[in-house]
């Protein structure tokens, strides 16, 4: 097992990374202050891991909350069902909520913890690659709104994050690839040598090589922990973690939550951010294509939906959380390994980027 730390002063917490950690209740018990625990999971993960996690917490009074699986359920109605279960079982302010599942479960369980009786402890036990390398670390919680993704929520840090890499053996290949989009992001925004490592190891990652997965998760979490420690509430550098997300969230909202997986939309959005960075003269076409090749090898889409026009993107991007004082801000690349959050770009460059024929561009980049 490896242990990382997110350094936030008195709210600092550990990230445990290793195999078969779900069975090690002692790792969690040191971060549980009361006698009550509520495990929030979904109907896909519950048959796989709920019994094991419950057994490792046998010393506590455990309530289980099983939600429907999918991004489409990341809403007020589903959140209310968590509160219903907590109140029915008479959970008090000393309870600990444990999120067992992917990013949707982590976001909703964390938001429920932030709100229930004005704040109770919670622990993240992420079971997808995307949640292990991204959403479980950093304290972003929330739900979707029909007009925009993750527009209602709170910054609320967990007491601990327990990453059991063996849970990835039950993850569908499409979900694994979606997680790799967030892994590749770290190489693009802040760690160009990691991008090189990914080029050499992406096939091992897709084949579920445990050593390669552990290293990718460790490096991704270490990068995110550094950024969150420097900018917890996304007032500056943390926003660079959203490379491709403004374009990607527009795709998710327009297509309907769940039609595209988050990582798939981020991948296509990252290609758009790469192309815009090239048009601004910050990266070369060969650098853009290098990044695209890694995304393709990871099994990810690199072309936005055919049914989306520039106007569709602009409509959804106008309600992005990075809009400030009416100005759209985007995460772009100054070079591979260096990202910047900026509103300093000509409107015509953005519009040209949105109007690119990405099918033709991808064909051209492969020749």
Is 185 annotated as a binding-site member? Answer: no
Torsional class of 323: left (φ above 0), alpha (ψ -120 to 50), beta (otherwise) = beta
pLDDT given for residue 325 in this prediction: 79
CATH topology of domain 173-365: Dehydroquinate synthase-like, alpha domain (1.20.1090)
Q: Identify the H or E element spanning 38.
A: strand 36-42
pLDDT given for residue 87 in this prediction: 98
The CA distance from 84 to 67, in Å, is 12
Distance of CA 362 to the CA centre of its chain: 26
Q: Which residues pair with 14 in a beta bridge?
A: 5
Please list the rounded mean pLDDT of every run of 10 residues in the chain (367 residues).
95 97 96 97 98 97 98 97 98 98 98 98 98 96 94 97 97 97 98 98 97 97 95 90 96 96 97 98 97 97 97 94 86 97 95 96 81
Is 316 annotated as a binding-site member? Answer: no
- Domains of the chain by residue range: 2-168, 173-365
Q: Identify the H or E element spanning 331.
A: strand 330-335
Is 245 annotated as a binding-site member? Answer: yes
**Alpha helix (H) ranges present in 41-161?**
51-56, 76-88, 103-115, 129-130
CB distance 224 to 116 below 8 Å: no
Closest CA to 78 of 105, 114, 99: 105
pLDDT given for residue 367 in this prediction: 62
The CA distance from 367 to 359, in Å, is 13
Other Cβ atoms less than 10 A from the Cβ of 108: the count is: 28
Is 287 annotated as a binding-site member? Answer: no
CATH topology of domain 2-168: Rossmann fold (3.40.50)
Closest CA to 157 of 223, 225, 90: 225
The residues carrying an active-site annotation are: 118, 140, 182, 224, 234, 238, 242, 245, 249, 262
Closest CA to 97 of 155, 34, 150: 34
Is 262 annotated as a binding-site member? Answer: yes
Is 69 annotated as a binding-site member? Answer: yes
CB distance 250 to 33 below 8 Å: no
pLDDT given for residue 177 in this prediction: 98
What pTM value is reported for the model?
0.94
Is 71 annotated as a binding-site member? Answer: yes
Residue 125 has what DSSP assignment?
A: E
Is 168 annotated as a binding-site member? Answer: yes
């Amino acid at each position: 097992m490896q242990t990382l730390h997110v350094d936030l002063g008195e709210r600092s917490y550990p990230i445990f990374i290793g195999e078969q950690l779900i069975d090690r209740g002692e790792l969690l018990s040191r971060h549980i202050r009361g006698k009550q625990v509520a495990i929030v999971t979904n109907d896909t993960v519950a048959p796989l891991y709920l019994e094991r996690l419950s057994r490792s917490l046998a010393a506590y009074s455990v309530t289980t909350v099983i939600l429907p699986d999918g991004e489409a359920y990341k809403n007020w109605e589903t959140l209310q069902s968590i509160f219903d279960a907590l109140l029915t079982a008479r959970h008090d302010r000393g309870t600990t909520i444990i999120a067992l599942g992917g990013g949707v479960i982590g976001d909703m369980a964390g938001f429920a913890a932030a709100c229930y009786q004005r704040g109770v402890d919670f622990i993240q036990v992420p079971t997808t690659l995307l949640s292990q390398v991204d959403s479980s670390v950093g304290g972003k919680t929330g739900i979707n709104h029909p007009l925009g993704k993750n527009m209602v929520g709170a910054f609320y840090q967990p007491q601990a994050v327990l990453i059991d890499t063996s849970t990835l053996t039950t993850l569908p290949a499409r979900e694994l690839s979606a997680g790799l989009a967030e892994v590749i992001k770290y190489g693009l925004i802040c760690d160009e040598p990691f991008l090189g490592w990914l080029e050499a190891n992406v096939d091992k990652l897709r084949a579920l090589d445990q050593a390669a997965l552990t290293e990718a998760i460790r490096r991704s979490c270490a990068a995110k922990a550094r950024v969150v420690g420097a900018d917890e509430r996304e007032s500056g550098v943390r926003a660079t973690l959203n490379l491709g997300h403004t374009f990607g969230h527009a795709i998710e909202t327009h297509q309907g939550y769940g039609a595209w997986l988050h990582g798939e939309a981020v991948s296509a959005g990252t290609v758009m951010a790469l192309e815009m960075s090239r048009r601004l003269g910050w990266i070369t076409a060969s650098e853009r294509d290098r990044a695209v090749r890694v995304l393709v090898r990871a099994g990810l889409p690199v072309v936005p939906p055919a049914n989306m026009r520039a106007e569709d993107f602009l409509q959804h991007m106008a309600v992005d959380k990075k809009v400030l004082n009416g100005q759209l801000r985007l995460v772009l690349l100054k070079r591979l390994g260096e990202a910047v959050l900026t509103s300093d770009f000509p409107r015509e460059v953005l519009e040209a980027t949105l109007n690119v024929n990405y099918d033709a561009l991808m064909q051209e980049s492969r020749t």
